């Protein structure tokens, strides 16, 4: 199982703060199939990097197998 609880991811771009994800909640049970779709810049890759433990959230929790 994968659970995301109130995930936020913020990047710095010079002096600007870019909020890639804000308050994302998601739960996928073992064996579930899901697709991530959206326009360019909507946070798809950021979300997948967090789920794959390649990155850490600025806030919130990523839970794998509980």
Q: What is the pLDDT of residues 10-62, one digit of tens each?
A: 999 999 999 999 999 999 999 999 999 999 999 999 999 999 999 999 999 99
The whole model's pTM is what?
A: 0.86
Half-sphere exposure of 27 (CA within 13 A, CB side): 4
Which value, in Å, is the radius of gyration of the alpha carbons in the chain? Answer: 12
pLDDT of residue 66: 73
Task: Categorize the per-residue pLDDT at 5 as very low, low, confident or very high, splitting at 50, 70 and 90.
Answer: very high
Strand partners, 7: 24
Only one residue has tokens 């990523």, namely 62
Confidence of residue 65 (pLDDT cuts 50, 70, 90): confident
Is the Cβ–Cβ distance between 28 and 2 less than 8 Å? yes
The whole-number pLDDT of residue 42 equals 93
d(CA 39, CA 43): 9
């Amino acid at each position: 199982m994968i659970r995301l609880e109130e995930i936020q991811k913020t990047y710095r771009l010079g002096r600007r703060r870019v909020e890639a994800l804000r308050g994302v909640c998601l739960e996928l049970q073992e064996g579930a199939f899901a697709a991530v779709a959206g326009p360019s810049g909507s946070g798809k890759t950021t979300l997948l990097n967090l789920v794959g433990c390649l990155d850490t959230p600025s806030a919130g929790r990523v839970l794998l197998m509980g």
